[in-house]
Structures are given as C-alpha cells and as structure tokens.
C-alpha cells in the first residue's frame, strides 16, 4: 500500500517561497525528486513518513462526521492501530490524495474557501510571524 512521505531536502521544496518539504506517495521512502532514500540512516531525518489524514465527510448534524474515510467508506475514520492513518472533518488539513479527489471533499473544501474569503479580514504580523482574523470594528 502506498504511503505518504515528506522530503526535507531544500532542493525538493514544493513551495519555492520558503516552506520546506516535498510530499509524495510511494511504497518506499525514496524521494521521487532527489532520489534520497530515507531507509539510509544518514537520510532518516530528510525523508520521513507522514500521518495520512483522510477526510471524514460531514453527516447532516453539524460537528459530527459520517465516521468513515471519503476515499474508502469501508474503512472507519478512527485512527489506525499504528497511528499512521487518521481522519479529520477539516477539508483543509486532509492530505490523502484520494480523499481530495472525491466529490464530497471538493464540495466542502470549496465551501470553506468561500466562507473564509467573505467573512475574514486577516492581519499578518511579520515581526511575530503570526496571522489571524482582524479585530471587529466598533
Ligand atoms: Zn527529495
Ligand atoms: Zn483517504
């Protein structure tokens, strides 16, 4: 079964503006960009396994999920015994590529984006490296 890995080689970063890390799905921890093998102890800190976060689609009751993975409804959304497979109701944090291909994920992810764009003014503080919603006026 394919597993999710992250390569921290700066050359492989998906986001050139600074955020380190290139995520890829493979059967073995070998980066598909630089070829570094995480099974080699020298590179164990460079290529490491990520917890797969599946999408737990919402039920008609807000705050309660359906209790299964969007990519495979036969699997429970509870954490796997090794803790490497989990599920979340927050579309943004889902990192399972298959869940992100499902219609239910796309539908709910889009809704989150629209909601955030319409409702929030964000204040970015470069000194503190924080950002958050702007205080309400009045
Ligand atoms: Zn790499
Ligand atoms: Zn999934």
For the chain, the structural domain boundaries read: 1-50, 51-130
Count Cα atoms within 13 angstroms, Cβ side, for 50.
22
Main-chain phi, psi angles of 130, to 5 degrees: -125, 160
Tell me if residue 23 falls in helix, strand or coil.
strand
Q: Are 40 and 83 in contact (CB under 8 A)?
A: no
Q: How far, in Å, is the centroid of ligand 1 from the Cα of 24?
A: 9
Q: Are 53 and 93 in contact (CB under 8 A)?
A: yes
Q: How far apart are the first and last CA of the chain?
A: 55
The residues whose Cβ lies within 5 A of ligand 1, an ion, are 7, 9, 12, 31, 33-34
Q: How far, in Å, is the centroid of ligand 2 from the Cα of 42?
A: 31
- pTM of this structure: 0.68
Structure tokens at 22: 């290139």
Per-residue pLDDT of the chain (138 residues; tens, 9 = 90+): 578 999 999 999 988 777 889 999 899 999 999 999 999 999 999 999 999 999 999 999 988 999 999 999 999 999 999 889 999 999 999 999 899 999 999 999 988 776 665 556 667 777 777 777 666 655
Q: How far, in Å, is the centroid of ligand 1 from the Cα of 12?
A: 5
Structure tokens at 4: 């999710």
Ligand closest to CA 32: 1
pLDDT the model gives residue 39: 96
């Amino acid at each position: 079964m394919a597993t999710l890995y992250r390569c921290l080689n700066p050359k492989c970063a998906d986001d050139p503006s600074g955020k380190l890390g290139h995520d890829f799905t493979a059967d073995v921890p070998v980066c598909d960009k630089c070829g570094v093998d995480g099974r080699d102890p020298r590179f164990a800190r460079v290529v490491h396994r990520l917890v797969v976060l599946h999408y737990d689609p919402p039920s008609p009751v807000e705050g309660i999920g359906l209790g299964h993975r969007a990519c495979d409804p036969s699997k429970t959304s509870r954490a796997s015994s090794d803790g490497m497979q989990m599920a979340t109701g927050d579309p943004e944090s889902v990192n399972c590529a298959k869940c992100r291909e499902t219609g239910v994920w796309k539908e709910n992810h889009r809704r989150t984006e629209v909601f955030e764009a319409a409702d929030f003014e964000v204040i970015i503080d470069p000194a503190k490296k924080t950002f958050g919603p702007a205080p309400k006026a009045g």
